[in-house]
Amino acid sequence: MKDLENKNDLTFKASKDFIAKSYIKKDDYDTLYKESINDPEKFWGEMAKKISWIKPYSKVKDVSFQKNDLHISWFKNGILNVSYNCIDKHLKTKANDIALICEADEPGNSKKITYQQLHDEVCKFANLLKYNNVKKHDRVTIYMPMICEAVFAMLACARIGAIHSVVFGGFSPEALAQRLIDCDSKLIITCNEGKRGGKIIPLKNNVDEALKIKGVDVKNVIVFKHTSNDVNMEKQRDIYYHEVEKTLKKTCEIEPMEAEDPLFILYTSGSTGKPKGVLHTSAGYLVYVALSFKWVFDYKDGDIYWCTADVGWVTGHSYIVYGPLANGATTLIFEGMPTYPDASRFWQICSEHKVNIFYTAPTAIRTLMKAGNEYVKKYDLSALKLLGSVGEPINPKAWLWYYDIVGNKNCPIVDTWWQTETGGIMLTSLPGAHLQKPGSAGLPFFGINPILVNDSGEEVNDSGNLCIKDSWPGQARTLYNNHKRFYETYFQAFPNKYFSGDSALKDSDGYFHITGRVDDVMNISGHRIGTAEVESALVSSPYVAEAAVVSYAHDIKGEAIYAFITLMKDVKDCEEILKEIKACVKKEIGSIAVPEIIQFSPALPRTRSGKIMRRILRKIASNEYEDLGDISTLANSSVVADIIEVHKELI
Ligand code: PRX
């Protein structure tokens, strides 16, 4: 347990002034946390009063994790509308306050949207959806860059009760099509083109390609003209937003929604090649993200908050859009990337908009740390008062740089652990209540009861599989159209609790330290990518006979992809083939899934029953050949030495 002892060494505390002003102090946490665990119905019943209801709920919680009766329901019989809670609710007092700051890819181009303008734009958009026959519970896919129209589109769906499925703009047409087919989307909202790092992203062209794929049944495409270039438009099917905008009314009645009506589907990688459509519903999700946003980031009226995630991932949903807007906050959305035009872009934006709360991913922090302190020091970051991290473990070196150089030793850092499936933040150190420990995601949020279990499901104290006992309102309710897979993925391994798929350590102060995934999911630059998805993309190349994919530790990305490939008979490995294989992955999934290293091998290590031994490949990719464990069960143990030889030449 030496590892664990070391993890207790370094601690940091927010300033006296910060603590004095914070919502939750140590004693509040201790009392409220106990209450939230001992009597969740009372705790969440109270918290749910903070959002606006059309009709109040009659039962706070109705949950069973049992195989034949798996159901999760919060705030039963309550009626509400999420878009009302994010917009209309604030109009009386905040109509002219800024809801969104939209910062373009190129510096010097920002736009501010007040709550009144947000209302008008969302209504116009909702009316267009209605005009195109989108009804309550219909699925609408959003494939957009990081611009304010993406937020309008999401809230417009919520306003009329349509279920949005936002697909990350970096996904390929094939990946988009797969997600369109799975939830049977009838309409897509996109842009003519996106822009990122000075490069054009051909979103509408990608949509056109996706729509040619068998099984896609999209009737209409709404296209925002974001750049000046024209794109192919199909009469009848495609609608240019600017051509109809003038006809759209700036008011649109809200659709009354049941607490458990779906709000959105968000696809995420799992252990098989098919992404999972994680489904979140209306009331529980909103209550959870609204409360966690306010307390974790200690958001006060007037603060400028910036989360750098993409709206295509859950962080963008919960902590760019729904959490902040439910609190009447000012939330910044940035189209570009941290290193364009140079590595000072984040800091320049923080300084220009006087950002107070900044939430980003360890990969970005490591990239900017590598670029050098001078990029940070050029700008006045004195408005910053809190920093956040999400998506992957943050190594103490990056944490300390973030703390010292970006935060000027004056900003607490909240390292937040959570998942697409959890809806909102589950573990973190609350800034006014807890000491922060670099590398630890801290303590449970209210109502969250995390435990560690060994592989037999017995509760253990310090190291094991991270599970959550009992339910919380932000929890996903199912996988779209696949409740069986929902059960099998999250509730089967350890009955009666939610299994996160992560492993963790718990130190003597009760702080959690996430140690990684225990399933076949990789975390590349904070993006979740399944090994099976990449393998199936690799074998879609006519040159590839079989492929096994593992991840290895990477200085900047946290983890990077290493693929072992056996080529078809008579195919010679060469640069050309390598390029074509990489292009296949780009085509099937997108650039984020292209392996960093591809190694060709005449065979892959297999057990006698034919299973590829990934454990061995993982060790080789991580340069741990000395300790391969027992390889005597392999059907072809001689290939291992050859694979190691080639690996040594490659790196
Ligand atoms: O492995 C954990 C890692 O990201 C996974 C969830 O990925 P996703 O559903 O895409 O959501 C990412 C943003 C919430 C987790 O199972 N992860 C997330 N946050 C942290 C983390 N690992 C360590 N520390 C974190 N703070």
pLDDT tens readout for residues 254-266: 999 999 999 999 9
Band (9; pLDDT cuts 50, 70, 90)? confident
Band (3; pLDDT cuts 50, 70, 90)? low
Among 514, 518, 525, name the best residue to mutate to test ligand 1's pocket (greatest count of ligand atoms within 8 A of Cβ): 514
Please, how many CA atoms are within 13 Å of residue 271, restricted to the half-sphere of its CB?
A: 12
Q: Please say if the pLDDT value at position 115 is more than 70.
A: yes
pLDDT tens readout for residues 365-413: 999 999 999 999 999 999 999 999 999 999 999 999 999 999 999 999 9
Closest-CA residue, ligand 1 atom 21, reads: 392
Q: Please say if the pLDDT value at position 609 is more than 50.
A: yes
Strand locations in 260-407 (E)? 262-268, 276-281, 304-307, 330-334, 357-360, 386-390
Band (630; pLDDT cuts 50, 70, 90)? confident
pLDDT of residue 6: 55
Average pLDDT over residues 335-357: 98
Q: Please say if the pLDDT value at position 250 is more than 70.
A: yes
Ligand 1 centre distance from Cα of residue 393 (Å): 8
Contact in structure between 180 and 186 (CB atoms under 8 Å): no
Q: Please say if the pLDDT value at position 560 is more than 80.
A: yes
Distinct helix (H) and strand (E) counts, the chain: 23, 33
Ligand 1 centre distance from Cα of residue 275 (Å): 16
pLDDT tens readout for residues 127-150: 999 999 999 999 999 999 999 999
Residue-wise burial string across 429-453, b where 16 or more C-beta atoms lie within 10 A, e elsewhere: bbbbbbbbbbbbbbbbbbbbbbbbb
Closest-CA residue, ligand 1 atom 23, reads: 393
Closest-CA residue, ligand 1 atom 10, reads: 528
pLDDT of residue 636: 85
Average pLDDT over residues 355-362: 98
Among 523, 533, 557, name the best residue to mutate to test ligand 1's pocket (greatest count of ligand atoms within 8 A of Cβ): 523
pLDDT tens readout for residues 178-220: 999 999 999 999 999 999 999 999 999 999 999 999 999 999 9
CA distance 151 to 29: 33
pLDDT of residue 2: 41
Pocket of ligand 1 (CB under 6 A): 268, 313-315, 390-393, 415-420, 441, 500-502, 514, 517, 523, 528
363 or 520: which leads in pLDDT: 363
Average pLDDT over residues 455-467: 96
pTM of the complete model = 0.95
Mean confidence (pLDDT) of the chain: 95
Average pLDDT over residues 120-132: 98
Band (480; pLDDT cuts 50, 70, 90)? very high
Average pLDDT over residues 494-506: 97
Average pLDDT over residues 416-427: 98
603: tokens are 């065979």
pLDDT of residue 4: 53
Closest CA to 389 of 441, 437, 343, 344: 441
Contact in structure between 549 and 595 (CB atoms under 8 Å): yes
Domains and CATH numbers, the chain: 525-650 (3.30.300.30)
DSSP state of 651: -
Closest CA to 531 of 161, 271, 214: 271
pLDDT of residue 632: 80
Closest CA to 74 of 487, 447, 419, 418: 447
Question: Helix, strand, coil: what percent of the chain each, to 5?
Answer: 35, 25, 40
